[in-house]
Structure 1
């Protein structure tokens, strides 16, 4: 039982609320408390109000900025994030203290007309806001067309129903968390589409000075996921990646070894470069070094063949 309530901050989308309630449940169970000990506070972020393409408004950080301000102002005590939305360079006074066990990392192909990605006819229209997914699809199918499709899962699926596009792509993790597995027409292998760095992972952030919260969150941290995510985000950081550059990465940690795959693409799919490295890994520092070094070397190799954050 907590003497002072720990306020959980979150966005108001159905998926964000699911994630916040998941964290709330874990905290209640871990601390032998009840829901009143861990109330949820909904905050609207910049990413929730923007109607256009996120990359034109600053990209990463639009879904986390207001939550972090609320942490610094002590209006909330923890913030729950989708880790792929979290910038790789954070505020000095804030820390990600726990990363939950990762869900399905794959991308989901969703269509009412076609059973597989391979069945899409020439010139088919795919709705997506992800430049990574667009670039990966164009490397395989340069004939495809794209339209901007934003909003929460329900909004995107409604636009698909309305015939705005022939297909769309979403993260399997989000659909499964919302118990909408039935919407997945085809789960795409990571060998076909490497996911975004940190896709499928939930992070919990708090103030660096708050030792009480740090201790409280420690049991929720999933070590294998933390090490994999650390390497992926370090790879992204070394590339100075943002929402303007198609970048993919996937780490897998087991038995003291970390395997990391990374990919960078031109936006039009005409160029791609990939790398894969594995090394013994027993700490966050070692995971970071593996990812950062791979990203640094890849950026040198790419040179000016990709337009960076233009």
Structure 2
């Protein structure tokens, strides 16, 4: 890509309007300002809040709303129309296929990808009483928790991260399950009762990472975002998203994946060893399929893990729930 012309420009950043979305967008803008100043770009940034379908429909579980890209479609349309210049997404909300003309311009450094419990009492999954009510809108989380603790009563809970925490008390839940990343970005780690190990609850594809989407033909923004990209996170997320694409899964099906990136081989900082675990489970938790593979090509690795799970019947599980 040829170097973009360094000129004065206002870059409009699109985001959902939840407190978490606005917080992480503000953090992204702060970093882009720092990069702009360091590299001599005369850019200023504005935020544009956009309401998505997933934000409007709060009385139905996500798996029943249907469709992919529940939290990104309206934002992507604004990007395609030139209303905004880049968009900040939680990577786990992004469908595998992006609209024509759009691309993921940067994958910044990932924060903790694990799920966590916020509990009324206790400090771990084992502390939940038999038959405890646990709130989550995610089939992936409920499938894995039911597999580990079949006695738990998993119930749907929707809303922004802060409203879900309030519902822990007001609606009588014993615990709710949230992404650690959101709690970290909000500065609320002190509210976390327990982190769920990936061995018990494999994260969603791309969980803990952000996707910064832009137009393919916007060379100025692409050049800026390339300086914001974290290579290790990019490799891990590419592998996980390849897995997602192979299974044709959206973010609201019981699919999980987590890729760990090893050290680069050789003095030239060449290929890195990738280790990825993928999971497909039945909604009731009775069947939980997991496979681990290693490789150096992220896309190939994702396909290999998906193929191993399909060979064990993962495609039939997903077909039954409309995945």
Normalised by the size of structure 2, how large is the TM-score? 0.90
- Whether the 8 Å contact between 1:265 and 1:271 is mirrored in structure 2 is yes
1:271 aligns with 2:287: yes
Q: What's the C-alpha RMSD, in Å, of the aligned pairs?
A: 1.8
C-alpha separation in 1, matches of 2:41 and 2:221: 17
Q: Which residue of 1 aligns with 2:26?
A: 21
Among candidates 205, 208, 212, match of residue 197 of structure 1: 205
- Whether the 8 Å contact between 2:92 and 2:251 is mirrored in structure 1 is no
- Whether the 8 Å contact between 2:107 and 2:212 is mirrored in structure 1 is yes
C-alpha separation in 2, matches of 1:304 and 1:153: 32
Q: Which residue of 2 aligns with 1:185?
A: 193
Please list every run of 5 or more consecutive structure 1 residues that lacks an aligned counterpart in the other structure.
Answer: none
C-alpha separation in 2, matches of 1:189 and 1:55: 24
- Whether the 8 Å contact between 2:102 and 2:214 is mirrored in structure 1 is yes
Q: Which residue of 2 aligns with 1:288?
A: 299
Q: Which residue of 2 aligns with 1:45?
A: 52
1:10 aligns with 2:15: yes
1:87 aligns with 2:95: yes
1:72 aligns with 2:80: yes
- Whether the 8 Å contact between 2:62 and 2:252 is mirrored in structure 1 is no
1:239 aligns with 2:247: yes
1:301–1:201 distance in 2 versus 1, CA, 3 Å: same
Show CA shifts across 1:103-146 (max 9, x none).
01111111112321111111111111011110001111111112
1:209 aligns with 2:217: yes
1:6–1:235 distance in 2 versus 1, CA, 3 Å: same
Give the deviation of 1:245 after TM superposition.
Answer: 2.7
- Whether the 8 Å contact between 1:108 and 1:184 is mirrored in structure 2 is yes
C-alpha separation in 2, matches of 1:138 and 1:231: 27
Show CA shifts across 1:152-182 (max 9, x none).
1110011002143111100111101101011
- Whether the 8 Å contact between 1:8 and 1:76 is mirrored in structure 2 is yes
- Whether the 8 Å contact between 1:131 and 1:243 is mirrored in structure 2 is no
Give the deviation of 1:305 after TM superposition.
Answer: 5.1
Deviating runs (4+, > 4 A) in structure 1? 33-36
SS in 1 for 2:201: coil
SS in 2 for 1:154: helix
C-alpha separation in 2, matches of 1:227 and 1:304: 25
- Whether the 8 Å contact between 2:291 and 2:308 is mirrored in structure 1 is no
1:10–1:175 distance in 2 versus 1, CA, 3 Å: same
- Whether the 8 Å contact between 2:243 and 2:303 is mirrored in structure 1 is yes
Among candidates 96, 111, 125, match of residue 104 of structure 2: 96
1:148–1:8 distance in 2 versus 1, CA, 3 Å: same
Among candidates 163, 179, 182, match of residue 171 of structure 1: 179
- Whether the 8 Å contact between 1:239 and 1:295 is mirrored in structure 2 is yes
C-alpha separation in 1, matches of 2:105 and 2:307: 26
Show CA shifts across 1:208-252 (max 9, x none).
111111111101000000000010111111111124531110001
